[in-house]
A and B are shown apart, each in its own frame.
Chain A
Amino acid sequence: MFDLISFIPRAVVQSVPLLLGCTGETISEKSGSLNLGIPGVMYVGAISGVIASFFYEQSCGGQVNPALAIIFPLLACLFGSLLMGLLFCFLTVTLRVNQNVVGLAMTTFGIGFGNFFGGSLIKLTDSEVPSIALSATSHCFSKALPFADDLGWFGKIFLSYGFLTYVAIAIALVTAYILKKTRTGLHIRAIGENPATADAAGINITKYKYLSVCIGCMIAGLGGLYYVMDYASGVWSNDAFGDRGWLAIALVIFTLWRPNIAIFGSLLFAGLYILYLFVPTGGNMAVKELYKMLPYVVTIIVLVVTGMRNKRENQPPEALGLPYFREDR
């Protein structure tokens, strides 16, 4: 039997990192920056949060103040991701280097950075704990609403998650609104479609590009933080985050650059991602591996179909991936 009531909550917790990564990448792509460094940014965001909370838990010896336990990792995560965003902007906007190359270098660097500090933090600080298990902090992050348990299946499906889950949905909705309805959003989209025209209209290209990429990176970094603090219960293990960063980038295309659709898109992707756990395969482990292929195959199909149908509102931003230099013709 397919157990929907245990399937949905598991899909939801899987979907949050994807949703945050996807929202962040959408903002950056709307301004014309294809940031392939998102997987790296998510690692950096996660490890920055882990480092901050590691020091905080060490310093107060188990007696954590819930507010501080959330604020320290959150700020560290945002700061770490912001630095990665600034790096990307400096190289691609100010120095006008190719975005794909910078993005891939950032992914190499970011994943290395995460795994290095994740694997060496204990050694570097000479502390005596056997592994990084931030259970106290994680407890604060994953605390569900108090009345979730009393509401049966409804509570389990809708209310049993940590606060970052709801933050992620809120961010996606707000982003969708800002991009579509506000002047700031219009400026960002104008830059992504045709920077020369936007420049002529008096929009400060550099400012908006920095703004959207950096905010995008900070949102994506939160996805990494959610993964380690909530999903993984505060236990850092190297490479555990896996390819979710790339999946988030795929999700941007899947959702046609709309963060509000991404809420459902991420849920669908997450469902496909964990479907192999729920499909009865009769102990045949090999077939499970084929099921894990599903999200990628679905992305490819969406990519091909949107390309074929060629509807204008479903296309990527016109100037996506291109550097802008005013004096270019």
Chain B
Amino acid sequence: MDKNKSPLIHITKRSDIPWQRAWLIRLFALVLAFVVCAIVTTLLTGLDPLSVYQSMFDGAFGSERKVWILGKELAILLCVSLGLTPAFKMKFWNLGGEGQVLIGALATAAVMLYLGERLPGPLLMIVMFIGAVGAGAIWAAIPAFFKARWNTNETLFTLMMNYVAIQLVAFFVIVWEVPKGSGKVGVINQTSMAGWLPTIGGQKYLLIILVVAVITVAMHIYLKYSKHGYEISVVGESVNTARYVGIKTGKVIVRTLLVSGAICGLAGWLMVAGSDHTITTTLAGGRGFLGIMVSWLAQFSPFAMIATSFLLTFMARGASEISTAFQLNHSFADIMTGIILFFVIGCEFFIHYKVHFRTKEGKEIVDHV
């Protein structure tokens, strides 16, 4: 045996990779994930994979109504993800998206219930908006303040804030429930429709999509061209560097989380005022966590996030169609989403690292992925 044998597999870090190849790797991972999903679905339902994807496609795009629902779901998921992005870019693990969305929704519902009949339409809308955005911002700023001041672990703090928000909503749901004892708030202002977002061109969801489109562009500009965006990326890369160049990191953390929470709160406003017109403890529906995936998979680029949130929304809608068609449990969508996430997350390795295999001659060949 040769004692100085080099290891069978040797990994080095890539300095840079052309973006085309990076996206090719991601695409390949995605295709692989779809193949695995098809196999899993076939094993469970006994269908051939092509018809599985056919029915998934129908579930997402089957009718005009389904397309609008897809658009709305995509927009709301994108909105939450956009909210989480500046925090992540700063390497602040905001797992509190759920809570921030809920608290924004709670503020919206409160304004609709208590002021719905008293304020004129436009003013009511403004108060709802400010309430939701403010509530979300405060909810996110609390952990940020402790992180900035005492370096408290934000991952767990924000996570716990979710449950505080959920219980707060549960409390108010019982206070507001109609009829008493039902445990549900029901549709708020059903007859007066006070505080409901207006329909544009006969489409209920168009306004939501437009609002989120504006936020997407604004977030792109904020992160890429503003001084704030620059400070966020410096703090994210290295807190020490940020200190040396004179950035007040504490201030940046709190400010960024105010923005982050405000947008999540806005997503809550969109859901209560725009689509659901009611509030439940499950309103956020895991979007706070899914938004992290959306943002991370898109490498914090707002425009790429449109694609990743489309992917996840499409999977959810499509898989729920399959589960309805075959009378399976609706959690089927989560399994599919999970499989796709594992593949797409795993492929990041091949983007950041290069794998070398040992050859017989002792020379290394580089595996070009």
Contacts and interface: CB of A to CB of B under 8 A. Distances in A.
Contact of B292 (A104, A116, A120, A249): A104
Nearest to B281: A289
B239 interface: no
B153 A101 contact: no
Interface string A26-42: 00000000101000000
B110 to A, nearest CB: 14
Interface string A107-138: 11111111111111001100000000000000
Given A100-B93, A297-B164, A119 B331 contact: yes
Contact of A101 (B160, B293, B338): B293
Contacts of A310: 150
B171 A289 contact: yes
B332 interface: yes
Contacts of B290: 108
A250 B334 contact: no
Contacts of A115: 329, 331, 334
Nearest to B295: A101
Interface stretch (A49-57, A226-234, A301-309): A301-309
B95 to A, nearest CB: 8
Interface residues of B, number: 52
A237 interface: no
Interface of B is mostly: helix
Contacts of A102: 342, 345
Of the candidates A104, A114, A115, the one having the most CB atoms from chain B within 10 angstroms of its own CB is A104
A287 B172 CA distance: 10
Interface stretch (B49-57, B71-79, B118-126, B346-354): B346-354
Nearest to B143: A300
Nearest to B147: A307
B146 A112 contact: no
B328 A112 contact: no
Contacts of B341: 105, 108-109
Contacts of A246: 159, 163
A188 B144 CA distance: 31
A88 to B, nearest CB: 10
Interface in B10-45: 11-13, 44
28 contacts: A36-B95, A36-B155, A91-B346, A104-B292, A105-B293, A105-B338, A105-B345, A106-B338, A108-B334, A108-B337, A109-B339, A112-B331, A116-B335, A120-B44, A124-B44, A243-B163, A253-B153, A286-B171, A296-B161, A297-B164, A300-B164, A303-B152, A303-B156, A303-B160, A304-B152, A307-B150, A310-B150, A325-B13
Given A108-B334, A246-B163, 17 more contacts: A91-B346, A97-B348, A101-B345, A105-B345, A111-B331, A112-B332, A112-B334, A116-B335, A124-B44, A250-B159, A286-B175, A290-B167, A293-B163, A297-B160, A300-B157, A307-B151, A310-B150
